[in-house]
Amino acid sequence: MDRRDFLKLAALTGAGLAVPDGINRFAGMVAASEKVDLVVAHGASPSAITKAAIDAFGGISRFISRGDIVVVKPNMAWDRVPEQAANTNPEVVATVVRLCYEAGAKKVKVFDRPVNDPRRAYVQSGIQAAAATLGAEVSHIDERRFRDIRINGVAIKEWPLYTEILEADKIINIPIAKHHSLAKLTMSMKNWMGVMGGSRNMIHQRLDESLVDLSRFLKPALTVLDAVRVLTANGPQGGSSSDVKRLDTVIVGVDQVAVDSFGATLFGMKGSDLGYVRLGEKTGLGIMDLSRLNIRKIST
Amino acid sequence: MQNFRRITQGIFLLVFLFLFIKTESVGNDELGYPVKIFLDFDPLILMTTLLSAHNVEKAFYLSISLIVLTLVLGRVFCGWICPLGTLNNIVGPLRKRNYISGASDRHRWKYYILIFLLVSSMFTLQLVGFIDPISLIIRSFSISLYPLFNHSIRSFFDAIYSLNVPGVVEVSESVYSLIKKSILSFRQPVFNQAAFIGGLFFLILGLNLVEKRFWCRYLCPLGALLGILSRFSLLKRSVSEGCNSCGACAVVCQGSAAPDKKEDWKDTECYYCWNCDDVCPRNAVSFGFKEKKARASMDLGRRRVAVSALTGLITVPLLKTAPLSRQDFSNPRLIRPPGSVDEKEFLKRCVKCGECMKVCITNGLQPTLLEAGIEGVWSPVLIPRIGYCEYRCTLCGQVCPTGAIKRLDLKDKTEVKLGLAMIDKGRCLPFAHATPCIVCEEVCPTPKKAIWFEDASVADRTGRVKKVKQPHVDLALCIGCGICEAKCPVLGRPAIYVSSVGESRSKTNRLLLP
């Protein structure tokens, strides 16, 4: 029984009314935070909207417990600067790192397996500096730490995955929303390519299935989709400022399919335009239909 | 004096090694250290480049200070500064006793080599890089010794890591991460000819077994140049009446200066190491500015000098009559680093020091074998399958001492074409195998992508029609960086590859109407 089922059950049986006071209050708290499936925050400051979105989603302590080892997984795959919108916004990443530590996380780790040179991707994205000053452990991928993992997916049966993400207590996925010629858009589900070892380029042969396989296996505690700046063409690395659109938006959710489905609307598309979102809904990974979701929009 | 000299040598060697290790990106646009400064102070490269290219990078004028230093103090560079000299010094004790070469004239070899180099460079052939000691040591370290060092350390710690003994791994890993941060490279460097170039270097060190500092005494052309300048130096040596010809100085002499010959001491061969002064039991040796000029002549022999010069002269047409020298002939595999000048000019400048290969962020710059002809051996070539040219990186141009690779700012760099990519439809998945793949387009770094798609419907074996995107290269936008080739999932022979045709630096190796 997941949280959603619990709520339905609670509503049906009126259990909330029947239980004693203390538990009632607990249920009420859960219900208050559960009401929301996605928070969409809009505002000029990337760090303020990130914090506001997470707060409106029930606060970081709903997801991070004292003593947790947290992996915060941004997209920093490219040798590009923040203005080019190819990597996750460094302020968004830094804010999540800060909130994790405030919630008592023991250690926050930040890494990605870039496509371009890792040193340049880490530095030029601005993420290394922003996260490290807040005490995050920003490390480069250590090839020895990949292990062949059976994930028994549809397209991917077994693949070398980065053990540091598998060993973490909690994972927070912080992708950026961008154009991509095959996936059309890349958001949270495609961000898992950054923890794949080996010749991950092969998964483009069955991209949608592969992304759903990975997303089902990795199960982040929270997803924060950065749409402060989005890349509307020539993705996933762009380069021209004319392809960058400033949306000043951050989307927070747990359901990866829902996050990506909402993300599509930022580009004038629908979730159903994206193969991996459709497949994600079909296979029960999450909800694509936005009308079935409780989306809370806030401005700061 | 001996200790003072050793400390000085140690300091210069450490500075050299420090700058060598710093010849590596940490992710910023610039390195922040004057990593090529030992080359800037090399007057031999200054002279041969002026002779061959009639023009030299401004930084090389720093080397005039070494000329001045030698005119005052003699060949102190060899004895006190040169990192290769110091390494020869360190391995010198391999040979127990020095062999006293009374009548040997091997020390003249280096002058013949110098004459050969100067004459050939006068006629456009720049061969100095093969044997210039600074080029040689940086190249050997970059291509061979540092990769070897990295490999040894990495294998050692990887072995402990894979043993996975609790308690030990934690300690070894923290030591390892410290070493990684300080003296190891970011990734294990790999180079073509690593064994060969390293072997030559070990051979040079091994020659100390034949005689201490064999290289410095007999082969080094920079030593020869400084030796000639030493003739005119102000600091000279004298031996007082107290000398009883015990010969102790002859044993400790690092050069072939014949210190026991008193007035016939050879100033051109002296490194001013002060060993003879230190060792003299009667304290009869002294160095000073008021001493008499040495009498011994260089005695190179007119015929031999003429033969060396003639050899230098003849080598020019000998090497220049390969097909590659023809204006309309280019090697498609010779992809030069971004900012490289036209091939003819490139060969006149490049000294094969390997700085660009050391700094190349993807390890894609490799030493040539014969791709650029014999005169171009060990010059840099980009091999995209090993590493592509990173779009926003300008480091090779920053470290090139000679201007063979021009220093480019970021905007110019992103517009320079190294060549052009072309697609092999017989291997490309969407063309040949009805299988989706977009990797070359995904990684293409130009702001408007140089790879575009044609939506195509292709039937597979069962007749089922599949929609795929078939890539095409926009030759006007492609810069030949080779990332498509590097990342192409068709391993082995990739389905997209770069060749040098269309490179900006050439007026002839062109494809499109300008």
> What are A172-210's pLDDT values in tens digits?
999 999 999 999 999 999 999 999 999 999 999 999 999
Q: Where are any strands of DSSP class E within B81-220?
A: none
B487 to A201: CB separation less than 8 angstroms, yes or no: yes
Burial label, B421 (beta-carbon count in 10 A; 0-12, 13-18, 19+): buried
Sign (positive or negative) of CA dihedral A163, A166, A168, A173: positive
A181 to B442: CB separation less than 8 angstroms, yes or no: yes
Least confident of A236-245, B164-173, B182-191, B223-232: B164-173
Mean pLDDT, rounded, of chain B: 94
Position B54 confidence tier, pLDDT thresholds 50, 70, 90: very high
Predicted confidence at residue B102, as pLDDT, reads 55
Cα B474-B479-B485 angle, rounded to 5 deg: 85
* Residue to substitute from A181, A184, A185, A200, interface B, most B β-carbons within 10 A: A181
3-state secondary structure of B469: strand
Nearest to B436 among A205, A234, A237 (CB): A205
List, in sequence order, every residue forming a beta bridge with A38; answer none if it has no partner.
A253, A295
| B467 to chain A: closest CA residue | A182
Quick check: B208 and B214 in contact, CB under 8 A?
yes
The per-residue pLDDT for range B233-285, each reduced to its tens digit, is 999 998 988 898 898 998 888 888 888 888 888 899 999 999 999 999 999 99
- One-letter amino acid identity for A95? T
Place of tokens 């968004």: A92
| B27 to chain A: closest CA residue | A120
Over residues B381-397, mean pLDDT: 98
pLDDT higher at B328 or A90 = A90
CA distance A192 to A213: 10
Question: By C-alpha distance, which of B111, B118, B130 is closest to B269?
Answer: B111
Quick check: A277 and A271 in contact, CB under 8 A?
yes
Return left, alpha or beta for B350; rule: phi > 0 is left, psi -120 to 50 is alpha, else beta: beta
Q: Which positions 239-278 of B are in contact with A (Cβ < 8 Å)? A: none
pLDDT higher at A18 or A109 = A109
How large a percentage of chain A has pLDDT more than 90?
88
| A84 to chain B: closest CA residue | B447
The per-residue pLDDT for range B337-388, each reduced to its tens digit, is 999 999 999 999 999 999 999 999 999 999 999 999 999 999 999 999 999 9
Residues of B whose CB is below 8 A from A140: 186
Predicted confidence at residue B313, as pLDDT, reads 95
What is the total residue count of chain B?
514
Q: Is the pLDDT of residue B216 over 60?
A: yes
A181 to B161: CB separation less than 8 angstroms, yes or no: no
How large a percentage of chain B has pLDDT more than 90?
83
B71 touches chain A (CB under 8 A): no
List, in sequence order, every residue forming a beta bridge with A70; answer none if it has no partner.
A108, A170
pLDDT higher at B288 or A278 = A278
Q: Where are any strands of DSSP class E within A43-163?
A: 69-74, 107-110, 137-138, 146-150, 158-162
Predicted confidence at residue B262, as pLDDT, reads 80
* Residue to substitute from B388, B443, B467, B483, interface A, most A β-carbons within 10 A: B443
Predicted confidence at residue B326, as pLDDT, reads 81
Residues of B whose CB is below 8 A from A182: 436, 438, 442, 469
The per-residue pLDDT for range A28-39, each reduced to its tens digit, is 444 454 579 999
How large a percentage of chain B has pLDDT more than 70?
98
Predicted confidence at residue A34, as pLDDT, reads 56
List, in sequence order, every residue forming a beta bridge with B457; answer none if it has no partner.
B467
The per-residue pLDDT for range B398-436, each reduced to its tens digit, is 999 999 999 999 999 999 999 999 999 999 999 999 999
- Measured torsion, CA atoms of residues B220, B226, B227, B233, in degrees rounded to the nearest 10: -160
Residues of A whose CB is below 8 A from B488: 201
Residues of A whose CB is below 8 A from B429: 205
Q: Is the pLDDT of residue A18 over 70?
A: no
Question: By C-alpha distance, which of B119, B121, B29, B134 is closest to B81?
Answer: B134
Question: By C-alpha distance, which of B273, B279, B271 is closest to B249?
Answer: B279
